[in-house]
Structure 1
């Protein structure tokens, strides 16, 4: 089975060309996230991919640090217009050293379901945030996707699929609460099997 970094390095170019499938929902989530931004904020985004979301949010805050496990994703991100305003790094959020309570906002989009331990990532986001800080995530909750659960192990053996964690929307909400967060925004488009968008706040 291919390691996660090698998998994402391999598909980085294709990933960078894939269009956003639901632009209206994406723009809604951008706007809702920016409602929680301030000009003096320090933001950390993990699993940033090729940086498209980071580039849209960075002008609204003071500092934006975006990391991804894949060095190829980061290479593509750094070549984009406006990338000089963002600190892009190839890094694994689960192991990178971050000063506790040093960030105003953490973002992790389309990433929690790809981690070995999504609960640990949520707990690390909590520890990283200053009191009153927010964690923003858009996450595929795939527990009920039985066909995918059956074929995923085969796809992983053939190096066609990454690791996938299967949890429900309620599982994700519970992981947030167990970490200490209060969920302040909970949204998904009606009638669609799609990602759950959450904004969770660390108590003051």
Structure 2
């Protein structure tokens, strides 16, 4: 099963699932909004069913959400019926930032551990942004020592789950590896923290 088919299959349930750590979600959402203005054109890669994009929409000029799953995008478009400055379309994360623009900020939440070549996407995001533009992301760092022995359990569980179609592509980053990859793409990290402990929230600026 490819990744698009996997996410299409779980889209209805995904749309109904509650956010596991609402305090962490609301905190990072507030921090994200603090870097955006009502004049900004924003792109979100890996938007899922659009909940975050629709929450941000009232604070920016417009926001475009993309996701590999047409099923996720169909739900997002239904939810966006009353939000004229938000639009959604299906696209692979690996191609979205190439030639997309103009945008002032690019967002990617709970995405980059689910794509095989995140470093290439970081480079494309850097090229798509203007000088001073923001790349804001939140990524589970499943190989980080701070997770403890659970990281070994994650590694052991993923391959058999993928074999039976119960897991998508998964990349195992450490926090250091993730930040270094973003910096290598040409960004300056201006804010970073763990919200929750397993996920690294990073605000990076194109210099």
Q: Same fold (TM over 0.5)?
A: yes
Label 1:100 to 1:44 Cα distance change in 2 as closer, same or farther (>3 A): closer
Label 1:172 to 1:149 Cα distance change in 2 as closer, same or farther (>3 A): same
Whole-angstrom CA distance in 2 between matches of 1:56 and 1:140: 22
How much does 1:39 deviate?
A: 1.2
* Partner deviation per Cα, 1:1-37 (whole Å, 9 max, x = no partner): x100000000000100110111111111111111111
How much does 1:102 deviate?
A: 2.4
Pick aligned residue for 1:176 from 171, 182, 190 = 182
Whole-angstrom CA distance in 2 between matches of 1:182 and 1:103: 18
User: Gapped runs of 5+ residues in structure 1?
Assistant: none
Structure 1 runs, 4 residues or longer, greater than 6 Å off: none
How much does 1:121 deviate?
A: 1.3
Whole-angstrom CA distance in 1 between matches of 2:36 and 2:9: 34
Label 1:148 to 1:64 Cα distance change in 2 as closer, same or farther (>3 A): same
Correspondence 1:4-83 to 2 at 5 A? 4-81=3-80, 82-83=82-83
**TM-score when scaled to structure 2?**
0.92
Q: Which segment is superposed worse, 69-78 or 116-125?
A: 116-125
Whole-angstrom CA distance in 1 between matches of 2:171 and 2:58: 33
Whole-angstrom CA distance in 2 between matches of 1:170 and 1:8: 28
Alignment partner of 1:139 is 2:150: no
Pick aligned residue for 2:201 from 182, 197, 204 = 197
CA contact (8 A) 1:101 1:127 kept: no
Whole-angstrom CA distance in 1 between matches of 2:20 and 2:194: 14
**TM-score when scaled to structure 1?**
0.93
User: Gapped runs of 5+ residues in structure 2?
Assistant: 145-150
Correspondence 1:71-110 to 2 at 5 A? 71-81=70-80, 82-96=82-96, 98-99=98-99, 102-110=102-110
CA contact (8 A) 1:78 1:84 kept: no
**RMSD (Å) for aligned C-alpha atoms:** 1.5
Number of residue pairs the alignment of both structures matches: 200
Match of 1:151 in 2: 157
CA contact (8 A) 2:97 2:124 kept: no
CA contact (8 A) 2:104 2:130 kept: yes
How much does 1:167 deviate?
A: 1.1
Match of 1:129 in 2: 129
